[in-house]
Amino acid sequence: MPVVLATYPLLAGVPRADELFNLVFFVVLASVLVQGASVPFAARLLGLDAPAAARRDYPLEFNPVGGLKSELKEVSVTDGTAWAGRAVIDLELPSGLLIVLIARGFEFIQSSGGTTLAPGDTLLVLGDGEAIDRARAQAQSPDPGVEPDGHTEGESDPHSSSPAGSLKTPEDGG
């Protein structure tokens, strides 16, 4: 933009306009070179130079058209969450959400009701934004059957001092 503005005095025939144009051109060129060369250094200095996250390539493509309010998004399944180790039919998916594909490692699995989800799976889901947000919240919520200490509900911890985890000895009357 400054270079364009510097051409107006040239066109108007102002004395020494060529010197003004050369000065503006030099300043703009120097500014671009300095800023362009300093961006990578500043990014490293601020810790913002991380490589872009690798994106998985899916064997299908989604081209939204007018009238379709759905989106195609990824939902991750992590260990210890409500969806890990459960069959798709048992998930109580939000209304209007469809699991299109399951990525497990380097394989793709077509989802059916009997498909059991594993930690590390990435689900490709189709639905409106609200349904996808609810699904993500469900997928990341803690598994109600696993206690915070990692034991399954009802399982006793042999190192626990609670009555369920203790053994009766003859001294205790047992």
Q: With H, G, I as helix, E, B as strand and everything else as coil, classify residue 87.
A: strand
Measured between alpha carbons, how far is 46 from 90 in angstroms, rounded to an integer?
46
Answer whether 0.75 is exceeded by the pTM. Answer: no
* Residue 8, pLDDT score: 86
Cβ neighbours for 168, distance < 8 A, ≥ 6 positions apart: 174
Q: Residue 146 falls within a domain, yes or no?
A: no
* Residue 59, pLDDT score: 86
Q: Which domain holds residue 100?
A: 71-140
Residues 93 and 129 in one domain: yes
* Residue 10, pLDDT score: 81
Grouped pLDDT means (10 residues each) for the chain, 174 residues: 84 90 92 90 86 79 84 90 91 91 92 92 92 91 61 47 40 47
Are the CB atoms for 138 and 125 separated by under 8 Å? Answer: no
* Residue 158, pLDDT score: 45
Task: Give the number of domains in the chain.
Answer: 2
